[in-house]
Amino acid sequence: MSEHLDAKAVEVLNTNDRGGYTVPTARLYPYQWNWDSAFVALGYGAFDRVRAWTELEYLLEGQWGGGMVPSILFRHNDPDYFPGPSVWQTQSSGQSVPPMPSTGISQPPVLASVMRELVASGDDYDLERAAQMIDQVAGWHEWFQRDRSIDGVVATVHPWETGRDNCPDWEIGLRGMEVDKSLEPYQRKDTEHADPRQRPRQDQYDKFITLVKFARERDWDQRLFSDESPFLMADPGIHFILLRANRDLLELAEQVGNTAAVEKLKPLIATAEQASQQFWDEQLGAFTARNMRTGEFSGGVSNASFLCFYADIGTAAQRQSMMEHFERIQKSVQFLMPSWDPAAEGFDSQRYWCGPVWPQMNYLISQGLAEQGYSQHAQRVKQDLSQLIQQSGFRECFDPLSGEGCLGTEFSWTAAIWLAWASPNKQELAA
């Protein structure tokens, strides 16, 4: 069974390969996505190291002059996707002209941690490839600190930047903003390719597009976007992933003797560690998203909350409280880890980031739990994903109550996470 799935996962990646970069799935997401590509490289790493590094190099080709690596690279124009390059219009920005059409926001920076993972499971070849990328990746991490941070907290100006597009975490931020009255009528494409009940709501899309228009009118000046955006929230996902990525990049920089990068990264780590406490909601007893304009917490535990372990953050009491949430949530679902607490307002077991289990999040959460000594919990998170894939295939995400697959099929990061981690044969494949 798992041999068959291993072969099928390789086939999924090869089918979605567009020659140097891989689309998440045909039609619904027809371009190169940032964190998708990073996870995809882990998958290629199980059977083709050269292809793994090429995926990452292609991603960095889209890096802006200011350091940002965008969430989507539009290497061609595909009328099947909205909003495409003609909506973002980043190339006509007077700031630092992006090297290719792209969005004007970033995504969770898992790249450095993937590089470290490939190096740890590889040889001199992998270290050499990683060494060539360290400065560029450090530049991206510095960008987060320079253009997206408020007092050390990495904030976000757009739910799409978090990768957790319609998570109820963002409701308090979206509620506080208006839809631009002069927004031109537009036609969504996502709801033509997927069940609209599983995609973000129309009122959310109107605000997503309003935010794109807002930044476009500010010429994609990234600091200005952060300073003035009607939506400004702190995301535990980006913050914890970036903190971890900085540590992983520091380790790589030390390994290859890149002292300039080492000196850049150390203060970024110290600042992020200190700022992490700003995500702690004492009333809920959890790390959560927070509105940077009002100080209000989102009021619910998401799967990103559990990345505190991955980032090695929290006092003993805070960790204990997070584990109590883990145990409670575990009792309310069949499969961990739902993207939103089933007991919180807004939970919907099949709607995108309002409840479904996400493969790449389970991978990160489980890794963090294992590192912090919660090995049984880590194993459960891994087992559940493995079972979901065996039962429902390489779907984009899964219903935590029924195990049903949701949204995209033949999905790249699901195949990649299977090959790199969730497959029982992972070790043999990598040999």
Site string for ligand DGY, 102-141 (x = CB under 6 A): ----------------------------------------
Confirm whether 169 is a catalytic residue.
no
Residue nearest to ligand DGY (CB): 160
Reduced to 3 DSSP states, what percent helix, strand and coil does the chain have, rounded to the nearest 5? 55, 5, 40
Distance (Å) of CA 148 to CA 192, 222, 229: 33, 8, 11
SS3 405: strand
Min dist. Cβ of residue 404 to ligand DGY (A): 20
Q: Does 413 bind ligand DGY (CB under 6 A)?
A: no
Give me Rg for the CA atoms of the chain: 20
Q: What residues does 17 pair with on adjacent strands? A: 22
Min dist. Cβ of residue 106 to ligand DGY (A): 11
Helix (H) or strand (E) holding 224, with range, is: helix 222-228
Min dist. Cβ of residue 267 to ligand DGY (A): 30
State how far the Cα of 296 lies from the Cα of 317, in Å rounded to an integer. Answer: 22
Give how many residues touch ligand DGY by CB under 6 A: 4
Min dist. Cβ of residue 205 to ligand DGY (A): 9
Token match 């890794």: residue?
367
Amino acid at the residue 312: D
Q: Closer to ligand DGY at the Cβ: 169 or 190?
A: 190
117, 235, 396, 410: the active-site residue:
396
Q: Rule CB under 6 A: which of 156-185 touch ligand DGY?
A: 160, 165
147, 165, 248, 348: the active-site residue:
165
First to last CA, the chain: 20
Min dist. Cβ of residue 255 to ligand DGY (A): 33
∠ CA(296), CA(300), CA(306), 5° rounding? 110
Q: Rule CB under 6 A: which of 185-244 touch ligand DGY?
A: 190
Q: Which of 305, 292, 311, 296 is nearest to 149 (CA)?
A: 292
Confirm whether 396 is a catalytic residue.
yes
Residue 406's contacts (CB-CB under 8 Å, 6 or more residues apart) are 195, 198, 350, 352, 356, 395, 396, 397, 398, 399
Selected binder of ligand DGY within 22, 25, 63, 71 (CB under 6 A)? 71
Q: Which residues belong to the active site?
A: 165, 396
Provide the binding-site residues for ligand DGY, judged by CB under 6 A.
Answer: 71, 160, 165, 190
